[in-house]
RNA sequence: GGCCCCGUGGUCAAGUGGUUAAGACAUCGCCCUUUCACGGCGGUAACAUGGGUUCGAAUCCCGUCGGGGUCACCA
């Protein structure tokens, strides 16, 4: 087998969506598995729609995910001479020809074909123009494109690693354009030339390109190039089985990042959309997928992405994440929510993160769950109030709690718990009668880390202050 | 519309002629527990459909239906 060289070739017309990310990932896994090279190429021959911002977004997205490349980015727009030369040669060899048809003429052709109930194909009007005619039109300065002479008979077969052989009848293709009138190559033409020029061994791309592949093969054959191997990965669909778009919520890796997902969780998840290790274990490192990744194990079915599973995976990665890294990841979310400013106490935040992380699934959720550590003004959970604060005698229990907590000198997890346990015994109440209202008083919530963890983190002063405030609140409730 | 791809529970997904049709997420119930989460145990739930081939089909063939893609001087 020749050296493995693969490429990811986005067109810079938007950000990196999860489908593109998965295509990049599968290329990358394949390259790394085979000790091959990964090449990043930018298919920017559409001058109208290509933007630098979008390219930057795609590169950022890839880097953030940890997908790197060995060569590139290579911009097609900077290699125009290459395409032009090959196109001119094809014309010289009689394998392609100049076409001077105008947009209006083409539209008319299409309309007539439609009327006749035939597919809207180019009729080959300029296919047999004489040299004189060509010269005449050229001299007149008429705009032209270059079309490939497609054989009218025979079949073109795509040998696809994932799908097997796929046959196409050549009669279903017309003489398609390879060079546009602005001297830019069309996608199919530029792709073939670059893939050849860059010595790409395996073209791994989305299924939407499968129908284009026979055309590309026709170009390979006209040019006399050796063909690469093809593998078309199924598409990722929205939950309603339609094509992914903005209305389906987060679809780009940037959006998932802003929602608080970790890159390794996203990588793990999108790998799972079409591939699974031989042991069936669904949580795995990239080392493992690199080691095991082969194309013949890639699924043919289109996949619908399910954020629930992504979220579950993210929770696992959050729980296993290095605490310093996790803290650093959470801080921007905290700042964003206005919970902390630029001068923050890193060690304090780290302690809170470590108390909270195991019950949250995204960085965003962690930041939300941390609010009461920084913010004294919070509302009590409504259901919690009904359940715990409106119970007879809670105010007295909490008053007793204040007294015992006040006597705790070393205000830590062990000592506060000891004080509480003693109080429960003394008052002869159930632990929940004290724990639940206290939790609500100091955090406003009915769930969260262990009660004494919260107390220790909050410190004596704030803990007691908040319980006092809750007592007042409860007395107010009774007064009404 | 022509051509092409795909069709196993709500979702991902094992399975390649003989299985009680795995597993994971989600969902439901129970257990653990000061709460929530984690974890553990258990439940509900699938071979799109009709014909073949075969002793025997989720697995092979054909039709139908459904979904998707593509047919541009977009990529």
> Which nucleotide across the nucleic acid strands is nearest to A120, CA versus C1'?
B71
Terminal Cα distance for chain A, rounded? 84
What is the spatial distance, in angstroms and rounded to an integer, between the CA atom of A19 and the C1' atom of B66?
23
A200: pLDDT confidence band, cut at 50, 70 and 90? very high
Tens of pLDDT along A138-161?
999 999 999 999 998 899 999 999
Q: Is A246 a catalytic residue?
A: yes
Residue A225 has phi, psi (to 5 degrees) of: -85, 150
3-state secondary structure chain A: CCCCEEEECCCCCCCCEHHHHHHHHHHHHHHHHCCCEEEEEECCCCCCCCCHHHHHHHHHHHHHHCCCCCEEEEEHHHCHHHHHHHHHHHHHCCCEEEECCCHHHHHHHHHHHHHCCCCCCCCCCCCCCCHHHHHHHHHCCCCCEEEECCCCCCEEEEEECCCEEEEEEHHHCCCCEEECCCCCECHHHHHHHHHHHCCCCEEEEEHHHHHHHHHHHHHHHHHCCCCCEEEEECCEECCCCCECCHHHCCCEHHHHHHCCCCHHHHHHHHHHCCCCCCCCCCCCCHHHHHHHCCHHHCCCCCEECCHHHHHHHHHHHHHHCCHHHHHHHHHHHHHHCCCCCCCCCHHHHHHHHHHHHHHCCCHHHHHHHCHHHHCCCCCCCHHHHHHHHCCCCHHHHHHHHHHHHHCCCCCCHHHHHHHHHHHHHHHCCCHHHHHHHHHHHHHCCCCCCCHHHHHHHHCHHHHHHHHHHHHHHHHHHHHC
CA A39-A245-A254 angle, 5° bins: 55
Name the residue among A247, A202, A256, A273 with its Cα closest to residue A22.
Answer: A273
> Which nucleotide across the nucleic acid strands is nearest to A188, CA versus C1'?
B75
Residue nearest to nucleotide B4 (CA to C1'): A211
Q: What is the mean pLDDT of residues A278-300?
A: 94
In the annotated binding site of A for ATP, the residues are 246
- pLDDT of A1 > 70? The answer is no
The pLDDT of residue A366: 97
Tens of pLDDT along A78-87?
999 999 999 9
Rounded Cα–Cα distance for residues A236 and A372 (Å): 39
- pLDDT of A363 > 90? The answer is yes
Residue nearest to nucleotide B3 (CA to C1'): A172
What is the spatial distance, in angstroms and rounded to an integer, between the CA atom of A266 and the C1' atom of B60?
38
Q: What is the mean pLDDT of residues A198-212?
A: 96
The nucleotides of chain B lying under 7 Å from a protein CB are 1-8, 10-14, 22-26, 34-39, 67-75
- pLDDT of A115 > 80? The answer is no
The larger pLDDT score, comparing residue A478 to residue A321, is at: A321
> Which nucleotide across the nucleic acid strands is nearest to A361, CA versus C1'?
B37
- pLDDT of A480 > 70? The answer is no
Tens of pLDDT along A15-64?
999 999 999 999 999 999 999 999 999 999 888 888 899 999 999 999 99
Residue nearest to nucleotide B70 (CA to C1'): A211
Look up the pTM and report it. 0.93
Rounded Cα–Cα distance for residues A398 and A380 (Å): 16
Q: What ipTM is given for this predicted complex?
A: 0.94
CA A79 → CA A82, A285, A317, distances in Å?
6, 38, 43
- pLDDT of A112 > 70? The answer is yes
Q: Out of A46-55, A174-183, A289-298, A318-327, which region has the weakest mean confidence (pLDDT)? A: A46-55
Name the residue among A154, A171, A273, A173 with its Cα closest to residue A213.
Answer: A173
What is the spatial distance, in angstroms and rounded to an integer, between the CA atom of A312 and the C1' atom of B32?
21
The answer for residues whose C-beta is within 8 angstroms of residue A171's C-beta and 6 or more apart is: A152, A153
The pLDDT of residue A135: 93
Name the residue among A400, A416, A396, A397 with its Cα closest to residue A408.
Answer: A416
Tens of pLDDT along A389-420?
888 888 899 999 999 999 888 899 989 999 99
> Which nucleotide across the nucleic acid strands is nearest to A303, CA versus C1'?
B12
Residue nearest to nucleotide B11 (CA to C1'): A306
> Which nucleotide across the nucleic acid strands is nearest to A43, CA versus C1'?
B75
Name the residue among A187, A165, A194 with its Cα closest to residue A41.
Answer: A194
Residues in a beta bridge with A16? none
Residues in a beta bridge with A71? A39
The larger pLDDT score, comparing residue A336 to residue A249, is at: A336
Residue nearest to nucleotide B35 (CA to C1'): A447
What is the spatial distance, in angstroms and rounded to an integer, between the CA atom of A434 and the C1' atom of B32?
21
Beta pairing class for A236-237 and A303-304: parallel
A250: pLDDT confidence band, cut at 50, 70 and 90? confident
For residues A295 and A162, the answer to whether their CB atoms sit within 8 Å is yes
Rounded Cα–Cα distance for residues A44 and A73 (Å): 11
**Summary mean pLDDT of chain A:** 92
The pLDDT of residue A402: 93
What is the spatial distance, in angstroms and rounded to an integer, between the CA atom of A169 and the C1' atom of B59?
29
For residues A270 and A22, the answer to whether their CB atoms sit within 8 Å is yes
Tens of pLDDT along A251-287?
899 999 999 999 999 999 999 999 999 888 999 999 9
Q: What is the mean pLDDT of residues A226-251?
A: 87
- pLDDT of A332 > 80? The answer is yes
User: Given A92, A103, A115, A246, which residue is catalytic?
Assistant: A246
What is the spatial distance, in angstroms and rounded to an integer, between the CA atom of A394 and the C1' atom of B45?
46
Task: Name the token pair of A95.
Answer: 């394998």
- pLDDT of A113 > 80? The answer is no
């Amino acid at each position: 087998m020749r050296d493995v060289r693969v490429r990811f070739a986005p067109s810079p017309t938007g950000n990196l969506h999860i489908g593109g990310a998965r295509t990049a990932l599968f290329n990358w896994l394949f390259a790394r598995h085979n000790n091959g090279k990964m090449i990043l190429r930018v298919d920017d021959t559409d001058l109208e729609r290509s933007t630098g911002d979008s390219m930057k977004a795609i590169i950022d997205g890839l880097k953030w995910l940890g997908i790197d490349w060995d060569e590139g980015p290579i911009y097609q727009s900077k290699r125009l001479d290459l395409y032009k030369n090959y196109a001119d040669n094809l014309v010289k060899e009689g394998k392609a020809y100049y076409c001077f048809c105008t947009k209006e003429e083409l539209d008319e052709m299409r309309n007539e074909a439609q009327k006749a109930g035939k597919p809207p194909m180019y009729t080959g009007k300029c296919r047999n123009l004489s040299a004189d005619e060509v010269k005449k039109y050229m001299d007149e300065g008429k705009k032209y494109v270059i079309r490939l002479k497609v054989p009218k008979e025979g079949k073109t077969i795509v040998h696809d690693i994932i799908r097997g052989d796929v046959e196409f009848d050549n009669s279903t293709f017309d003489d398609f354009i390879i060079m546009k009138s602005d001297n830019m190559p069309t996608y199919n033409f530029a792709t073939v030339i670059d893939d050849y020029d860059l010595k790409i061994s395996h073209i791994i791309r989305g299924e939407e390109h499968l129908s284009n592949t026979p055309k590309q093969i026709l170009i390979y054959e006209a040019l006399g190039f050796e063909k690469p191997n093809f593998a078309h990965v199924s598409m990722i669909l929205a939950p309603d089985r339609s094509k992914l778009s903005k209305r389906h919520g987060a679809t780009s890796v940037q959006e998932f990042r802003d929602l608080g997902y970790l890159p390794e969780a996203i990588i793990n998840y999108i790998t799972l959309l079409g591939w699974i290790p031989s042991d069936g274990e669904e949580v795995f490192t990239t080392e493992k997928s690199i080691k095991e990744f082969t194309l013949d194990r890639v699924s043919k079915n289109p996949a619908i992405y399910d954020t629930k599973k992504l979220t579950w995976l993210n929770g696992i990665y959050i729980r296993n994440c290095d605490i310093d890294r996790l803290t650093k990841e959470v801080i921007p979310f905290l700042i964003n929510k206005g919970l902390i400013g630029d001068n923050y106490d890193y060690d304090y935040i780290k302690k809170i993160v470590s108390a909270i992380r195991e019950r949250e699934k995204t960085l965003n959720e962690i930041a939300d769950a941390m609010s009461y550590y920084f913010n004294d003004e919070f509302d009590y959970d409504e259901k919690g109030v009904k359940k715990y604060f409106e119970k007879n005698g809670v105010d007295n229990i909490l008053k007793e709690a204040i007294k015992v907590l006040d006597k705790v000198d070393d205000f830590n997890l062990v000592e506060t718990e000891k004080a509480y346990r003693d109080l429960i015994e003394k008052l002869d109440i159930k632990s929940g009668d004290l724990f639940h209202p206290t939790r609500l008083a100091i955090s406003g919530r009915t769930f969260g880390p262990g009660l004494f963890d919260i107390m220790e983190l909050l410190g004596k002063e704030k803990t007691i202050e908040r319980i006092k405030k809750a007592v007042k609140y409860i007395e107010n409730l009774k007064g009404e």
